Amino acid sequence: MKRSTPKSRRTAKPSGRKKRKPPRLVLDTNVLISALLWTGPSHQLLEAVEAGRAVLIASPSLIDELREVIVRPKFAARLAQLATTADELVESLLAVVEMIEEPDVEAVIAADPDDDRVLACARAGNARYIVSGDRHLLGLKRYRRISILTPAAALTKLPQQRSPA
């Protein structure tokens, strides 16, 4: 005798595709500044986060560094062109960031210890990618299982459309 199966099980077709979570990213301060103030690959990464194609992770110390850097006089003219303030840009970024607790930082990059905070954030936030323009970070290529990429290279790793939930 045949076993009966619920109709939904008989008619459901396997998609053949595994649902993947969007990749988790940590953007270095130089990439965040570029993303907030200009167009280009860094800005496109931020748009991908807003579209749900990636998850942006940050820690309090990385946001503090962004706040310190974006108010430098060399960015004042660009902020004026955009008719915005540094505080407004940081607040807009915080709306799309997944904040993690401040991670423990181990010494990895002797030439620039501030970069260790980026590595620690990526590790604690289970990031797949660190995106940077910093030669110290890019020189590592990988940290544990986390790839370190330029903004243009990171864009090629993101899904083109948001996966249905």
Tens of pLDDT, residue by residue over 116-129, are 999 999 999 999 99
Please give the torsion angle defined by the CA atoms of residues 74, 89, 116 and 122, in that order, rounded to the nearest 10 degrees: -150
CA 64/CA 79 separation, integer angstroms: 18
Which residue is listed with tokens 């002797």? 110
Q: What CATH code would you report for 22-157?
A: 3.40.50.1010
> Binning pLDDT at 50, 70 and 90, where does residue 151 land?
very high
The structure's pTM equals: 0.85
Residue 33 is predicted with a pLDDT of: 98
Strand, coil or helix: 74 = helix
Residue 8 is predicted with a pLDDT of: 47
pLDDT, average across residues 39-50? 97
Which residue is listed with tokens 């690959």? 41
pLDDT, average across residues 78-93? 97
DSSP state of 82: T
Question: Which helix (DSSP H) or strand (DSSP E) does residue 4 occupy?
Answer: none
DSSP state of 35: H
Count other C-beta atoms under 10 Å from residue 39's C-beta. 10
Residue 108 has pLDDT above 60, yes or no: yes
